[in-house]
Structure 1
Amino acid sequence: MMEGMTTAPGQPPAVRQGLRHPLDPDPARSTKAQAVFALGLVAALTGLFVGGVVPATVALQLSRQARREAYASGGFLTGAAWLRQGERLAWIGLGLATVTVVLAVVYGVVRLAEAPYTQDFAPDVN
């Protein structure tokens, strides 16, 4: 019926879309994907203060659920780009928190090494 039909003279034939069942839901953006992005952004912004560990962990757990739901929906849940960016930001937040903790430990060890090892008594004490 639409095989030889074109949209305008000189243009290629119109691509026929697969028939969609009337009861199929419309594609919608996953709200969990938006939440993962927001939590990942918070994690990246607060990662240097070690406060980004909690939102990053929640974002990564929520991203697993969002991926599972998107797969089960058969393509009716969208937002994969938001999900990928949120995961990247969450991993950046965890990396920044790790760097902060490592630097704090190194600083503490250096300060401990510079401190005198024994107690310094007065010269008249045995």
Structure 2
Amino acid sequence: MTTVAGPMPVAPPPGPPRHPLDPDPVRATKARAVFALGLMGALTGLFIGGVVPATVALLLARQARREAYASGGFLTGAAWLRRGESLAWTGLVLAAVAVVVGMVVGVLRLAEAPYGQDFAPNVN
């Protein structure tokens, strides 16, 4: 192996050069909000109240994806959006499971209850 004396060559930046007036890439603030709402939806999913933040997170994620696409790559945060969406879906699934379990428990309790009014044996 031989080494050459002198300065090391600098690799050119990947991709086409940026125009000086182009904005710097910035993480979308909606991406953080989607993650936070998705986390709240997942944590409170078993209590039916998790449906509201999870639904808002999914609607906000849709808007954030549109804005990121329209920005031409200057809005980042796709990983936060994916995580937030998955947490929101988890919250919705947990809420659906809680509703189904509640209905099953209610039906079983209704089946165990006596039908009609229960009179004493000596009443006509």
Show the counterpart of 1:89: 87
Shift of the alpha carbon at 1:15? 3.3
1:4 paired residue number: none
Distance in 1 between residues matched to 2:77 and 2:91, nearest whole Å: 21
TM-score (norm 1): 0.87
Tell me the alpha carbon deviations over residues 6-39 of structure 1, each in whole angstroms, 9 at most, x when there is no partner.
x727xxx713442211211100000000000000
Q: Secondary structure at the match of 1:47?
A: coil
Count of matched residue positions in the alignment of Structure 1 and Structure 2: 117
1:17-71 deviations in whole A, cap 9, x for unaligned? 4221121110000000000000000001100111110000000000000000000
Q: Tell me how far apart the structure 2 counterparts of residues 16 and 43 of structure 1 sit (CA, whole Å).
A: 41
Report the equivalent of 2:103. Answer: 105
Instruction: Please give the per-residue CA displacement for 1:54-113, whole angstroms capped at 9, x wherever unaligned.
Output: 000000000000000000000000000000000000000000000001000000000000
| RMSD after superposition | 1.5
1:14 is aligned to 2:23: no
Q: Secondary structure at the match of 2:104?
A: helix
CA distance in 2, matches of 1:14, 1:22: 20
SS in 1 for 2:121: coil
- In structure 1, stretches of 5+ residues that fail to align are 1-6
Q: Give the % identical residues.
A: 75
Describe how 1:1-126 pairs up with structure 2 within 5 A: 8=8, 14-17=11-14, 18-126=16-124
Please, which runs of 5 or more residues in structure 2 have no aligned partner?
1-6
TM-score (norm 2): 0.88
